[in-house]
Amino acid sequence: MSEPVKKRGFWSEMIYNNPVFGLYLGICSTLAITTTLNNAIGMGVAVIVVLTISNIVISLIAPLTPDEIHIPVYIVVIATLVTVVGMLMQAYTPELYSTLGTFIDLIVVNCIILGRAEAYACSHNVAESAKDGLMMGLSYTFSLLAMSLIRQLLGTGVIELSNPMNNQVIFSLRLIPEAFEIPVFTTQTGAFLTFAVLSALVAAYKLNDEKKEKAAAKAKADAAKLAAANAAKAKVKEAA
C-alpha cells in the first residue's frame, strides 16, 4: 500500500516543487531574462496564462486525442496560446515584448508547459489541471522574481519597477551605494552564480524536510511498537 502524499502549505509547495530550482526546468529563459523585475514579471505572467489555459484545454481534449498524435496536438494548443499572448504583449507592452524577444516564442518548447500537459493535465479533470497550471506558473514566476531581485540589486544597487504600458517608473530605490555594486551580476556569469546559490538553498530545504519526515515516521513506528509491546504484556498479565 502506497504512503499518502504529504500535504504541504502554499509556500512550502512553491519551494519544494519549484520548477526551476527544484525540478531544473525552464532554466534557459530564467538565466537569460532575470536582469530586471520588469522582465521577470512580464515573462512570469505570460507563462502563468499559457500554462493555466493550456492545462485546461488539454484536460478537455485529452480523452478525444489519439495516443499517436497527442504530443503534436498539445504543441499546437500551446503554440496558439503563446502566439495570442505574444500579440497582446506586442500591442500593449511593446518595449517589454522587445526586451524579452524570442524568449516569448520559446515558451512553446518550455519544458514546464509541455511537461505539465503530458504528466498531469492529460490525466486529470479541468479543476485539478487549472490549479496545477496556476501553481506551477506562480512557482516559476516566484523563481524569476527571486533571481531578478538579487541580480538587479547586487548588479546595479537599485530596485526599480516601471509600468510596462507606458514605461513610467513606479518606484526606484537605491539600497547599495554605487561604489559597492557588483556588475558581474548583470551578466550571464552572475545569472549562473545566483541560480547555483538558490538551487543549493532549495536542495538543502528539501533534504532537511525529508530528514524531518523520516524522523517523524521512525518516531511513529517506534511508538506503535511500544504500544504493541505494552498490549502484549497486559495480555500476559491478564492470562496469569
pLDDT in tens, 206-237: 888 888 888 888 888 888 888 887 877 777 77
Q: What is the pTM of this model?
A: 0.82
φ/ψ of residue 49, rounded to 5: -65, -50
Residue 183 C-alpha cell reads as 556588475
**Residue 140: predicted pLDDT:** 92
What backbone phi and psi angles, to 5 degrees, belong to 197? -65, -45
Which residues contact residue 102 at a Cβ distance below 8 angstroms, ignoring those fewer than 6 apart? none
To the nearest whole percent, how much of the chain has pLDDT over 90? Answer: 40
pLDDT at 151 over 90: yes
DSSP bridge partners of 172: 160
Chain position carrying cell 539600497: 175
The per-residue pLDDT for 4 is: 41
Around Cβ 13, how many Cβ atoms within 10 Å?
A: 14
Residue 87: CB atoms within 10 A of its CB come to: 11
β-strand partners of 162: 169
pLDDT tens per residue, range 23-49:
888 888 889 889 999 999 999 999 999
